[in-house]
Amino acid sequence: MLKSIKKGIALLLSSALVFALAGCGGAAGGKRIIRISHSQSETHPQHLGLVEFEKYVESKLGDKYDVQIFPNELLGPSVKAIELVQTGAIDFAIASTGNLETFDNIYQVFSIPYLFDSVEAYHKVMEDKELMNSIYKSTAAAGFEAVTWFDAGTRNFYAKTPIKTPEDLKGKKIRVQQSPTNVKMMQAFGAAAAPMSFGEVYTAIQSGVIDGAENNELALTNNKHGEVAKYYTYNQHQMVPDLLIGNLKFLNGLSPEERQVFDEAAELATKVEREQWSVATNKAIEQAKEMGVQFIETDVQAFKQKVLPLHKELLSENPKLKPIYDSIQKVNDEVKEMK
Ligand code: GCU
């Protein structure tokens, strides 16, 4: 882990080196270097999942590949990292479907607010290999393909002042991911949307450029946003997954046996990340409380009513979304019936 940080810092100091290395195929000591970028700290469940990915690939194909993980946006903010995967300058990145949506609009579907009725339905959909593979494999034109998903919890508002009802959002400037759908959502909520990268959020809240943001609980602690925003409201507007995307040329250049190893490694990374997720979330809530963050329960329906018209609007704007949306509604109903 320390190794990867040091390597990351060294590369950061000379960003030209990143491209020089990538340009020559990233070979070191005869091994092909596999670079993976993500935005989280090294204690985050996603990093822990990727460490298992690294170990697994190297245990099976270690004579050929050297997997290197770059956390904390060391290779650049998420949108930049997606571009690096597109061009093949790096091989993999973890990206939120929010940030992927401008690269392929199929990913708009997960930005639809209140798309999933429950966490169970969300997990069931994400674990539906047939449905998800059809989505993952549909983005060849963008130069990448997703290989697995990671839980990123439920997104809620947090701000410098309490948001207890949708009316409290009026006149507020709230950060969203670089996603047109999220901008629309924020406007429908009655707030002004401020799209920016994840790494900029802390300073933007601290300096008063924005009033707040929206994310899962880990943002309060892992990214320290709880130091500058003390009110977290459980309005539950989205469950937006993160995906591990890989450069298409790289993936297609693997032999079937190698591809299988990478797929198994990806599956293992997801398993580990998901096992860690609820543990990490509960810990984050406790830590955030110690930081003085107040958690506010609210009338979710009141928030939902504000943005429900977006479902129809987004589906008619992008017909590609409809079949996936319908499959998700079916899962919503199935889960409801089981309860
Ligand atoms: C979550 C998510 C990240 C995303 C971030 C954001 O932390 O896991 O992938 O980039 O939210 O809001 O930008």
Q: Are strands 231-238 and 294-297 parallel, antiparallel or unpaired?
A: parallel
Cβ(151) – ligand 1 distance below 6 Å = no
Mean pLDDT, rounded, for 54-77: 98
Whole-number Å distance, alpha carbon 94 to ligand 1 midpoint, is 9
Tens of pLDDT, residue by residue over 263-290, are 999 999 999 999 999 999 999 999 999 9
Quote the tokens at residue 84.
């690096």
Of the listed ranges 26-35, 183-192, 243-252, the one predicted with least confidence: 26-35
The confidence score (pLDDT) of residue 27 equals 63
| Mutate which of 39, 150, 158, 240 for ligand 1 pocket (most atoms within 8 A of beta carbon) | 39
Mean pLDDT, rounded, for 189-215: 98
Percent with pLDDT over 90 in the chain: 91
The confidence score (pLDDT) of residue 339 equals 85
Name the pLDDT band for 154 (thresholds 50, 70, 90).
Answer: very high
Nearest-angstrom CA–CA distance, 318 and 329? 17
Give the Å distances, CA to CA, from 294 to 41, 220, 229, 233: 23, 11, 9, 8
Give the Å distances, CA to CA, from 286 to 42, 220, 280: 19, 11, 10
Quote the tokens at residue 1.
């882990």
Supply the mean pLDDT for the chain: 93
Instruction: For 179, list phi and psi in degrees, rounded to 5.
Output: -140, 120
Is a pLDDT exceeding 90 seen at residue 180?
yes
Tens of pLDDT, residue by residue over 157-175, are 999 999 999 999 999 999 9
Ligand 1, atom 5, residue with closest C-alpha: 198
The confidence score (pLDDT) of residue 135 equals 98
CA dihedral 198, 200, 204, 207 (to 10 degrees): 140
The confidence score (pLDDT) of residue 28 equals 63
Tens of pLDDT, residue by residue over 303-333, are 999 999 999 999 999 999 999 999 999 999 9
Is a pLDDT exceeding 90 seen at residue 59?
yes
Nearest-angstrom CA–CA distance, 147 and 246? 7
Q: Which of 123, 121, 125 is nearest to 339 (CA)?
A: 121
